[in-house]
């Protein structure tokens, strides 16, 4: 299955005689070792799935207008416990197959979705053209405003704004095991011809080698603004205090 020369002539020139699959999955030879996959020291790491690296990845790129049919986006789920989180940053492992990781014009589109029966549902927090920091294959994306997430299951979706011409490709690196639901992926314009024109599991359409999950972590603080966390000891103390108030009221009535 060869690339369409009218749309991706540059890709053919750079990759010939490789097949279209090379644009759907990163070169394992460029993948970082598992020991390199550590969350950056920013705020508190609330959730991480940076283990079990597969040595592969799926494209998650907003190309130039001439290649809109090949625009892709990936998403993976995570669970927020009782008390909620104030999310300040997401951290990803990415691979630049033929491009410069330090391309200054690249920005990130990032959306947090509510869960809808095991796939991304309605958008909760949406950010476009965010600055990102790249160190090797580690990419950090600080949020300009915190994303406030009550208890529940959510999906973080990533897309990088990078022209193929002069920029090559970028891939979100995969994980060999799934936490929660399998990761989701979509190619809304259908240019790759493998399905997943709406959110579907990455393993269903075979993007990135069909691995079940992506590598990422979530940073921020526990709890939500104006809602203090109550630990077991504080909860017991609160219960005791309320009990004492109730006892005093009963004594006054007797």
pLDDT tens column, 134-147: 888 899 999 999 99
Q: What is the mean pLDDT of residues 178-196?
A: 96
Q: Look up residue 209 and give its DSSP letter.
A: G
Reply yes or no on whether the pLDDT at 222 is more than 60: yes
Place of tokens 């460029």: 30
146 in any annotated domain: yes
pLDDT digits (tens, 9 = 90+) for 55-69: 889 999 999 999 999
Whole-number Å distance between alpha carbons of 33 and 14: 27
117 in any annotated domain: yes
Tell me the average pLDDT of the chain: 80
Q: Residue 34: phi, psi to the nearest 5?
A: -60, -30
Range of the domain at 189: 23-253
46 in any annotated domain: yes
45 in any annotated domain: yes
Whole-number Å distance between alpha carbons of 172 and 50: 12
- Kindly state the helix (H) or strand (E) to which residue 222 belongs, with its residue range: strand 216-222
Q: How confident is the model at residue 130 (pLDDT cuts 50, 70, 90)?
A: very high
Say what the pTM is: 0.78
Q: Look up residue 34 and give its DSSP letter.
A: G
Whole-number Å distance between alpha carbons of 238 and 210: 50
Whole-number Å distance between alpha carbons of 163 and 63: 5
Strand duo 61-62 + 152-161: pairing: parallel
Radius of gyration of the chain (CA): 22
3 in any annotated domain: no
188 in any annotated domain: yes
Tell me which residue of 218, 160, 214, 173 sits closest to 42, measured CA to CA.
Answer: 218
Reply yes or no on whether the pLDDT at 1 is more than 60: no
Question: Looking at the 3D structure of the chain, how many domains does it have?
Answer: 1
Tell me which residue of 158, 192, 172, 185 sits closest to 11, measured CA to CA.
Answer: 192
16 in any annotated domain: no
Reply yes or no on whether the pLDDT at 23 is more than 80: no
Q: What is the mean pLDDT of residues 106-125?
A: 97
pLDDT digits (tens, 9 = 90+) for 140-186: 999 999 999 999 999 999 999 999 998 899 999 999 999 999 999 99
Place of tokens 């103390």: 237
229 in any annotated domain: yes
């Amino acid at each position: 299955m060869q690339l369409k020369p009218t749309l991706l002539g540059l890709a053919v020139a750079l990759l010939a005689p490789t097949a279209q699959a090379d644009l759907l999955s990163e070169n394992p030879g460029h993948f970082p070792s598992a020991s390199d996959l550590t969350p950056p020291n920013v705020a508190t790491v609330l959730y991480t799935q940076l283990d079990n690296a597969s040595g592969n990845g799926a494209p998650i790129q907003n190309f130039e207008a001439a290649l809109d049919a090949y625009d892709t986006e990936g998403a993976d789920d995570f669970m927020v416990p009782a008390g909620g989180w104030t999310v300040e940053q997401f951290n990803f492992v990415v691979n630049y197959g033929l491009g410069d990781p330090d391309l200054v014009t690249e920005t990130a589109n990032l959306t947090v979705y509510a869960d809808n029966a095991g796939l991304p549902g309605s958008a909760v927090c949406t950010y476009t053209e965010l600055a990102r920091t790249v160190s090797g294959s580690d990419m950090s994306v600080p949020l300009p405003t915190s994303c406030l997430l009550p208890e529940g299951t959510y999906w973080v979706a990533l897309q990088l704004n990078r022209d193929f011409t002069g920029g090559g490709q970028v891939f979100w690196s995969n994980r060999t095991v799934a936490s929660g639901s399998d990761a989701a992926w979509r190619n809304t314009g259908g240019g790759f011809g493998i399905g997943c024109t709406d959110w579907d599991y990455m393993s269903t359409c075979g993007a990135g080698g069909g691995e079940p999950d992506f590598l990422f972590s979530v940073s921020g603080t526990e709890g939500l603004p104006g809602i203090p966390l109550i630990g077991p000891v504080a909860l017991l103390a609160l219960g005791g205090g309320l009990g004492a108030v109730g006892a005093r009221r009963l004594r006054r009535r007797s």
